[in-house]
Amino acid sequence: MDARSFNQAVNRTPKAYRFWFPPLALRRRLPSALTPRGVIVPRKGIFFFATKDDMVPGLEILEASQSFKYIVPGLFDSPEVVEYVSYKDLPGFGVSEKGNVEQMPRYLIVPIEAEVTAIEIPQRRGGVKYKVESKVCLYFKPSGIYQNEFLIPGEFSPGEGDFSTAMYKAFRKEFIRNYEKVKVYSVGPVAYQRLLAGDPLTPSYKAKPEMYLQC
């Protein structure tokens, strides 16, 4: 199938299934395992819409029963690794500063005793950057509200190893315990009431209304 035929096929897909379609050029650069039908999803993962009040009960239970911390991943000017021991310490928890899912803060949940160190990455123009990453983790991106109107989704998905698998199972059991299933999303109780009230649950405040999650 050529590019034009592929795009025509995508455009015939019902809108409910076009929520996460990337541009064709991006699809060509992504591993096939990450792009079933062109949709960007982790190999395993839970996408959710939740307010702060929706997320707190599950995280309270998880932090009381599991030993883990939150690491900020990324590429930095300093080798210092930023970590938090509780969701209560996460900056702006439950709030979206940019109103876009791609710019929501992401954390690596790792064992409390894990030593995560930054790796030097030489830059082509000179100098170095420091990369903070760990595959043995649970990837966690909290959901958040933008301008008290737009609810931006979050997600969690496992990395590698027994710890990652165990934490993924624990989050599926406790974090989304009382959430509603709406299409491919788990929706927290307060977020679900906002959905019923007509508030936009959307990947971006700039998205067209037809891109909003619908019951």
Please give the residue range of the domain that contains residue 53.
42-211
Residue 108 counted as domain residue: yes
Which helix (DSSP H) or strand (DSSP E) does residue 192 occupy? helix 189-196
What confidence tier does 19 reach under pLDDT thresholds 50, 70, 90?
Answer: very low
Residue 164 has pLDDT above 70, yes or no: yes
Residue 140 counted as domain residue: yes
pTM for this entry: 0.79
Residue 35 counted as domain residue: no
- Overall average pLDDT of the 106-132 stretch: 96
DSSP assignment string, 113-128: T-----EEEE-TTSSE
> What share of the chain has pLDDT > 90, as a percent?
79
Domain count within the chain: 1
- Overall average pLDDT of the 25-34 stretch: 37
Residue 1 counted as domain residue: no
**143, 90 in Cβ contact below 8 A?**
no
Residue 25 counted as domain residue: no
